């Protein structure tokens, strides 16, 4: 008798997780959006993460690894791993300093060119997602994500 109750409870758990799991839902949406932007930016030879990094580097204007890590809410290891191909391709330059905290990250002329070429593709990905979701829902999603980011930034 107890085995039947346990099986029923476990089955109910499966449905509960399948229906309500925020992790699973956000990962599903994230994979879709990542694929959309990956396809759009493939033409210019950067990934969506790299394009975000190029954006942040330009906004920070000679920020260091810690600044970039904070701006993108990524750990330093992930930042360094994603910077390597940008440096190798000549899109980003890190000035040398004996104090690693003072090493500044800058975008090169080639990086600026790639960024500008990618902007049209980024805009197209934005439009494609809006066409799928609708402008109102896209705006609601964007606003909700901004609220969530602000909330978790306080943690």
Q: How far apart are CA 132 and CA 126, in angstroms?
A: 10
Q: What is the pLDDT of residue 110?
A: 97
For the chain, state the CA radius of gyration.
Answer: 21
Using the Cα atoms of residue 55, residue 61, residue 64 and residue 69 in order, give the sign of their dihedral. negative
In the chain, where are the structural domains located?
2-153
Q: What is the pLDDT of residue 13?
A: 80
pLDDT tens track of the chain, all 155 residues? 455 545 557 677 878 888 889 999 999 999 999 999 999 999 999 999 999 999 999 999 989 999 999 999 999 999 999 999 999 999 999 987 766 667 899 999 999 999 999 999 999 999 999 999 999 999 999 999 999 989 988 77
Residue 114: which residues within 8 A CB-CB, separation 6 or more? 44, 45, 46, 54, 91
Q: At what angle do helices 48-60 and 65-72 cross, to 10 degrees?
A: 120
Q: What is the pLDDT of residue 62?
A: 84
Q: What is the pLDDT of residue 4?
A: 53
Q: What is the pLDDT of residue 1?
A: 46
Q: What is the pLDDT of residue 98?
A: 65
Say whether domain 2-153 belongs to CATH 1.10.10.10.
yes
- Distance of CA 35 to CAs 80, 115, 124, Å? 23, 19, 13
Closest listed residue to residue 50, CA positions, set 65, 63, 36, 37: 37
């Amino acid at each position: 008798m107890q085995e039947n109750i346990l099986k029923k409870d476990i089955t109910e758990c499966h449905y509960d997780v399948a229906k309500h799991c925020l992790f699973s839902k956000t990962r599903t949406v994230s994979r879709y959006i990542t694929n959309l932007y990956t396809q759009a930016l493939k033409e210019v030879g950067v990934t969506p993460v790299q394009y975000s990094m190029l954006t942040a580097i330009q906004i920070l204007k000679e920020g260091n690894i810690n600044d970039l890590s904070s701006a993108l809410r990524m750990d330093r290891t992930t930042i360094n791993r994603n910077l390597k191909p940008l440096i190798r391709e000549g899109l980003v330059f890190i000035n040398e300093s004996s104090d690693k905290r003072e090493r500044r990250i800058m975008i090169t002329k080639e990086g600026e060119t790639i960024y500008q070429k990618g902007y049209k593709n980024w805009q197209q990905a934005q439009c494609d997602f809006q066409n799928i979701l609708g402008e109102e829902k896209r705006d609601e999603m964007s606003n909700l994500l901004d609220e969530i980011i602000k909330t978790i930034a306080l943690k």
